[in-house]
Amino acid sequence: MSIMDTENKFCAHNYHPLPVVLTHGEGVWLWDDKGNKYMDMMSAYSAVSHGHTHPRMLKALTEQASKLAITSRAFYTDKLAPFLEKLCAISGMDMALPMNTGAEAVETGIKAARLWGYNVKGIPDNQAEIIVVQDNFHGRTTTVVSFSSDEEYKKGFGPFTPGFKIVPYGDVEAMRDAVTDNTCAILVEPIQGEAGIKIPPAGYLKGLRELCDEKNVLLLVDEIQSGLGRTGKTFCFQHDNIMPDGLMLGKALGGGMMAISCFLARRDVLELFQPGSHGSTFGGNPLSSAVGMESLLVLEEEKLVERSAELGAYMLEEIKKIDSNLIRFIRGKGLWIGVDFDPAQISARAICERMQEKGILSKETHDTVVRFAPPLVITKEEIDWAIEQFTSVIRDVESTLVAA
């Protein structure tokens, strides 16, 4: 049986992969089992912002793995403290709670906000509300899908966790109307990645910040995908010159090597956790701490944030030059660009399949948007090559549509 058939037989079908079997990667490049080479325009949903098998990441991983990998937090290790000290310095947060996956960081933020709501704000027991927005994506646990507005994420998984309200994205007034005395937090992505790289109106986060200050509500920002350079700033909230009260990080924090996540917040929020109240067997282990630390150092020393800002602006401009009536709109910030295709003419999936034939791997989101989110180590020449391939895919599709 082929590898693809075997995977389809033994692995649950909760994804619909493109028909390619990858065997190794280096920087922005991936190779399949037939020796074909592809450019990665997906970066594993931003988890590979540092590029594949980055030599420094690999060294940090293997060196630490050969010394001490997993201990549980029943003990101190020499790696966790410097990692979290650095992460707090970069983000401006006071404390961190280390987890593994993004969804766990979100769950941790929800727990922290509720603790704060009961213990500090004085919300009556079990009445705390968190306000989220339409088309949010915060992960796949049962509580997190409870407040999704996407039926696909929820169907068949009820009953759902109460305590969440959904309002339209990008609308501060709608948020204001939804806040009550029992609201402990507002939770948003500063740019909605999975919803199709949706960018809210300028000043949205600033408006939410003011609202939260006025109403004594925590502003929680999920930067699991947008954070650590993807949008051309270290954190997307920096575009609005604000500080959130809580911050979720994941994906790129693992430097393309492993699952590392964190919920960071102000001291008066995170200090409410007591021993035994929350935990994770693997969270904060010395292996992930060493890898997380190195991912932050590489980000700084290789100026990946600055690269994302400069090359992202260049790439967006170049994509906008491709004049085609197949495209409805193009949006992006940093090296994070979504191209929305007119579904009456072609699906985003069909574009991705054609790009694969030209040596570019990407993934559609929500049927109409093709995303371009390369590792931040990409060069201008590599971007030019990708634009050439993408343009030729579009011209091919245009000519077949005209012929038909």
* Active site amino acids: 137, 222, 251
Of 38, 83, 116, 137, the residue at the interface with ligand PLP (CB under 6 A) is 137
Among 193, 246, 256, 374, binds ligand PLP (CB under 6 A): 193
What residues between 28 and 57 interact with ligand PLP by CB under 6 A?
45
Complex with ligand PLP: residue 183 or 226, whichever CB lies closer: 226
**107 touching ligand PLP, by CB under 6 A:** no
The CA distance from 386 to 372, in Å, is: 10
Q: Which stretch binds ligand PLP (CB under 6 A): 108-116, 222-230, 318-326, 396-404?
A: 222-230
Q: Tell me how far the alpha carbon of residue 341 is from its chain's centroid.
A: 22
Q: Which of 93, 97, 103, 249 binds ligand PLP (CB under 6 A)?
A: 103
Interaction between residue 139 and ligand PLP (CB under 6 A): yes
Q: Which of 366, 298, 362 is nearest to 336 (CA)?
A: 362
Place of tokens 């093709």: 370
Q: Whose Cβ is closer to ligand PLP: residue 225's or residue 288's?
A: 225
Residue from 138, 333, 354, 371 in contact with ligand PLP (CB under 6 A):
138
Q: Please, how many CA atoms are within 13 Å of residue 256, restricted to the half-sphere of its CB? A: 28
Select the span of 96-104, 324-332, 339-347, 369-377 touching ligand PLP (CB under 6 A).
Answer: 96-104
Q: Which of 129, 135, 222, 245 binds ligand PLP (CB under 6 A)?
A: 222
**Nearest distance in Å: CB 151, ligand PLP:** 19
Amino acid identity for residue 331 in this structure: R
Q: How far is the CB of 140 from ligand PLP (least distance, A)?
A: 6
Interaction between residue 225 and ligand PLP (CB under 6 A)? yes
Q: Which of 40, 189, 245, 294 binds ligand PLP (CB under 6 A)?
A: 189
Rounded to whole angstroms, the Cα distance separating 95 from 77 reads: 17
Q: Which of 195, 220, 224, 269 binds ligand PLP (CB under 6 A)?
A: 224
Which of 148, 152, 151, 150 shows the shortest CA–CA distance to 138?
148
* Residue 254 touches ligand PLP, criterion: CB under 6 A: no
Rounded Cα–Cα distance for residues 17 and 161 (Å)? 30
Residue 139 Cβ, how far from ligand PLP at the closest point, in Å? 4
Residues 6+ apart with CB under 8 A from 131: 164, 165, 166, 167, 175, 178, 179, 183, 185, 186, 187
What sign for the dihedral angle of Cα 339, 256, 294, 302?
negative
Peptide bond into 124 cis (omega under 30): no
Q: Does 250 bind ligand PLP (CB under 6 A)?
A: yes
Q: Which of 137, 133, 95 is nearest to 266 (CA)?
A: 95
- Return the residue nearest ligand PLP (CB atom): 102
Closest C-alpha to 250, from 99, 142, 365? 99
Give contact residues for ligand PLP (rule: CB under 6 A): 45, 101-103, 106, 137-139, 189, 193-194, 222, 224-225, 250
